[in-house]
Amino acid sequence: MRTYHPKTLWILSFGQAWDTFSYFGTQTFLVLYLIHTFHVDRTTSYSIYGAYTALAFTMPILGGIVADRWIGSKHALIAGCLFTIVGNLMMLLQHQYLFCVGLAIVLTGTGLYKSNATNLVGLLYPKGDFRKESGFTWFYLAMNVGGTMAPLAYGFIAYTLGWNYVFLGSAIGIAIGGLWFVKNWHLFDNITQPTQKFRHYNISIYAVLLVACVLISLIFYFPHTINYVIGFIFFMSLLYLVMAIKKHQGTQRKSLIAAFILCFIGMFYFAAGLQTGSTITLFIQHEIQQGIVKMQLPGSTFNMLYCLFVVLLAPCVTFLWAKLKRKNILPSAPVKLVVGITLATLGIATFAFAATTKWVLLSVVIGYLLLSAGELVITPTAYTTISNLSPDGMKSTMMGCWLLFIAMGGYFSSILANAAHAAAVKFPLGHNIYFGVFAFIALFTFAVAIIVATLIPRLVRMMD
């Protein structure tokens, strides 16, 4: 039994690290760059930031559809690299409309790259190969290495060379990853299916993608349309998924429904995990940067903890799953979902504890640790299960579906945060309102874990 991973895994992981570096770097500096360079007001900057974050996880479903129906995952991945490079170079020019177009092109490139790189990782291993989940864990580790390094590198480049040069750094990194993939193009020939049937549509598809970039750029240039457009994209994406699943019959339809349910359940984890960008950030600002601890630490110090813990814990999780597999006690995917959501519950509960103790800093670190552990349990499991359940012609699309539900989890996290804040005001649980906010979020997440736990037998049967 082989225990090593193919060289192609490290090629894809290296490229994904740079793609995530570009995404997280831009996400970290987008609001600051808009205000500093183009003097955009704060409210508009927040709206553009929200649209960028949502589209970064929505566009992969478009990338998956394009690959599955027309150009294949290999060509889609290279196209994603080219789009991301061109977009970053346009953002380098410090012209507001060109910046909006460049941001749209980067998002399109991310959509093409993210779902198809993930799909290719799944195709490296035959169905049932125990190495697949380990491979996805290493892939996810590389992704978070890029996410960890981005704020540091972008900050260094911005304050030494200039704000706009951060995008040049991303373009160079993506180019290096893409060139390594092209150099080893032949290694992927035996894991991807040719798309000769649609080959004559390739140029047209790229032209349509460029037109889509221009249209998306208008969202950023006219930010008052953002909520309507994002809602429309979400609705049409879900409608397409439902119609695509209905076209399949028998076992394939049952497997696709199971994969769709898995994506839906994952949304609730991210509704809790992505509190890192709202309630947790505000709590840290109030309690650590300005409050009882009185430590003036930059926000990026804590933003990096999430990705950093993923990097540190990934080898441990890989070792744990391998050991359980050898003992024939490896838990099923639904059980891992429950474990991941439970870890998120404990993480949020730890932040609630932090609001009532003098050990605030330690509690915050532990809270981030638990949230990161939960994501490490859920995400590689989701990638593996979706890859196994999805039939040929739907694999990249269903990977995009997972990322779409992450985006919806991000949106739902804001609804949950507002609801928890309102509940904490109406039913105060202590002198610190953040204790009530985190307590209500933890109770909601725990309720989700209980509900999913009761569905484990049915989910296991659907996934068999």
Are 1 and 32 part of one and the same domain?
Answer: yes
Are 260 and 174 part of one and the same domain?
Answer: no
Nearest to 403 by CA among 5, 49, 107: 107
pLDDT recorded at residue 300? 47
Full pLDDT tens readout for the chain, 464 residues: 455 789 999 999 999 999 999 988 888 788 778 888 898 887 788 778 778 888 888 899 889 988 888 888 888 999 999 999 999 999 999 898 899 999 999 999 999 999 999 999 999 998 778 889 889 999 999 998 998 888 788 888 888 998 889 999 999 999 999 999 999 988 887 776 554 444 545 677 888 888 888 888 888 888 777 778 878 888 888 899 999 899 998 889 999 999 999 999 999 999 898 887 678 877 887 766 555 445 555 444 576 788 889 889 999 998 898 899 889 998 999 999 999 999 999 999 999 998 887 788 889 899 999 999 999 999 999 999 999 999 888 888 899 899 889 888 877 887 888 888 888 888 877 777 889 889 999 999 999 999 999 999 999 998 87
pLDDT recorded at residue 297? 54
Are 117 and 22 part of one and the same domain?
Answer: yes
H or E segment and range at residue 393: none
Can you give the CATH number for the domain in which 188 is found?
Answer: 1.20.1250.20
Question: Please, is 325 exposed, middle or buried when counting C-beta atoms within 10 Å of its C-beta (0-12, 13-18, 19+)?
Answer: middle
pLDDT recorded at residue 431? 73
Token couple for 378: 């859920």
Last residue of a domain, one of 184, 212, 247: 247
Are 166 and 273 part of one and the same domain?
Answer: no
pLDDT recorded at residue 171? 95
The residue type of 318 is T
> How many domains are there within the chain?
2
H or E segment and range at residue 462: helix 456-463
Are 262 and 227 part of one and the same domain?
Answer: no
Are 313 and 353 part of one and the same domain?
Answer: yes
- Tell me the C-alpha distance between 57 and 379, whole Å: 14
- Tell me the C-alpha distance between 276 and 5, whole Å: 33
Are 35 and 155 part of one and the same domain?
Answer: yes
- Supply the range of the domain harboring residue 3: 1-247
- 8 A C-beta contact, residue 30 and residue 52: yes
Are 300 and 429 part of one and the same domain?
Answer: yes
pLDDT recorded at residue 43? 75
Are 353 and 450 part of one and the same domain?
Answer: yes
H or E segment and range at residue 418: helix 395-426
pLDDT recorded at residue 441? 93
Instruction: Tell how far CA 65 is from the center of its chain.
Output: 18
Last residue of a domain, one of 247, 263, 295: 247
Are 154 and 299 part of one and the same domain?
Answer: no
Residue 166, classed as helix, strand or coil, is helix
Last residue of a domain, one of 201, 219, 247: 247
How far is the CA of 161 from the CAs of 34, 91, 93, 165, 170, in angstroms? 17, 15, 14, 6, 14
Token couple for 148: 């960890």
Are 149 and 254 part of one and the same domain?
Answer: no
Are 179 and 275 part of one and the same domain?
Answer: no
